[in-house]
């Protein structure tokens, strides 16, 4: 069920393989600090579908100047899962969840997560960013991110597209050449 797609970016859980019967009851788990991957592993073991987007983090030690690369959650402290009432109770029993948020607009959340999954699979570097309320809404019309839609901010020679996950009030961003996007009305 859950797989790490690559060593640098990817996800635990595959939205492309999402069965239709799972798409009805979704929850956002607010995890205990640094328990996202452990929770994903335990949910997989008990047969609960979950999605945890992951990206590469690069840090440099100030004293030794050593570079450390690690795979971290795109949204620290959060994991998405599909569960009925009994499965949610079993998930809470893992002791990795501080609280859960019910997802009211399941189709909207799955659509937003699929866009983030597409950005992760493209191999383009992504960065978390604050959710933007204003700005141009665009669609990528060519390249590996074709069809991706988001809010844009302009940075240097490229366009940075922000992909919101509204239930969390957070977002990720990816850079795309200006000539590969079109405005969405």
> Which token pair is 184?
């969405």
The predicted-structure confidence for 58-90, as pLDDT tens digits, reads as follows: 777 767 878 888 899 999 899 999 999 999 999
Predicted local confidence at residue 104, as pLDDT: 92
Among 162, 159, 163, 117, which residue's Cα sits nearest to residue 13? 117
Predicted local confidence at residue 155, as pLDDT: 57
Q: 74 with 163: CB under 8 angstroms?
A: no
d(CA 82, CA 98): 17
Q: 172 with 161: CB under 8 angstroms?
A: no
- Between residues 45 and 183, the one the model is more confident about: 45
Mean pLDDT of 164-178: 85
How many angstroms from the chain centroid is the CA of residue 115?
9
Predicted local confidence at residue 154, as pLDDT: 61
DSSP state at residue 42: H
**Residue 129 forms beta bridges with which residues?**
171
Predicted local confidence at residue 129, as pLDDT: 56
What CATH class does 10-183 carry?
A: alpha beta
- Residue 20: pLDDT band (50, 70, 90) is low
Per domain, the residue ranges of the chain are 10-183
The predicted-structure confidence for 135-150, as pLDDT tens digits, reads as follows: 778 888 778 888 888 8
- Residue 30: pLDDT band (50, 70, 90) is very high
Q: Is the pLDDT of residue 50 over 90?
A: yes
Among 168, 48, 51, 30, which residue's Cα sits nearest to residue 99? 30
Q: Model pTM greater than 0.95?
A: no
Give residues with Cβ within 8 angstroms of 37, minimum separation 6: 12, 52, 73
Q: 101 with 27: CB under 8 angstroms?
A: yes
């Amino acid at each position: 069920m859950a797989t790490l797609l690559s060593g640098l970016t990817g996800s635990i859980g595959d939205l492309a393989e999402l069965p239709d019967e799972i798409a009805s009851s979704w929850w956002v788990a607010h995890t205990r600090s640094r328990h996202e991957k452990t929770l994903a592993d335990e949910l997989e073991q008990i047969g609960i579908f979950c999605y945890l987007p992951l990206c590469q983090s690069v840090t440099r030690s100030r004293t030794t100047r050593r570079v450390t690369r690690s795979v971290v959650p795109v949204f620290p402290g959060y994991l998405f899962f599909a569960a009925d009432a009994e499965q949610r109770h079993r998930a809470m029993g893992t002791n990795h969840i501080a609280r859960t948020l019910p997802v009211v607009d399941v189709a909207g959340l799955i659509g937003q997560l699929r866009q983030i999954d597409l950005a992760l699979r493209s191999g383009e570097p992504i960065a978390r960013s604050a959710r933007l309320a204003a700005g141009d809404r665009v669609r990528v019309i060519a390249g590996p991110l074709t069809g991706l839609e988001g809010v844009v901010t302009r940075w240097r020679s490229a366009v940075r597209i922000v992909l919101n996950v509204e239930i969390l009030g957070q977002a990720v961003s990816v850079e795309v050449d200006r000539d590969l996007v079109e405005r969405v009305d």
